[in-house]
Amino acid sequence: MYSNVGPATAGGLGGATTLAYTGFSTLAVVVAAVTLLFAGLALLKLVPRRAR
């Protein structure tokens, strides 16, 4: 976990692998998915239905 990643850290790879150890990355993905789901459901309620 504390090994020297090297130049990959500048590209963001080091940050992504560090978050995988803490578990916050998984939690953030779940929160983002639920937020997008509820935002989509709210948009479906706001948009009027198409007339056939």
Between the alpha carbon of residue 16 and those of residues 25, 39, 50, 51, 52, the distances in Å are: 8, 26, 43, 47, 48
Q: The tokens of 14 are what? A: 């080091």
pLDDT for the residue numbered 32: 92
**Cα distance between residue 35 and residue 42, in whole Å:** 11
- Look at the pTM and tell me if it is higher than 0.95: no
Say what percent of the chain tops pLDDT 90. 31
pLDDT digits (tens, 9 = 90+) for 14-39: 555 555 566 667 788 899 999 999 99
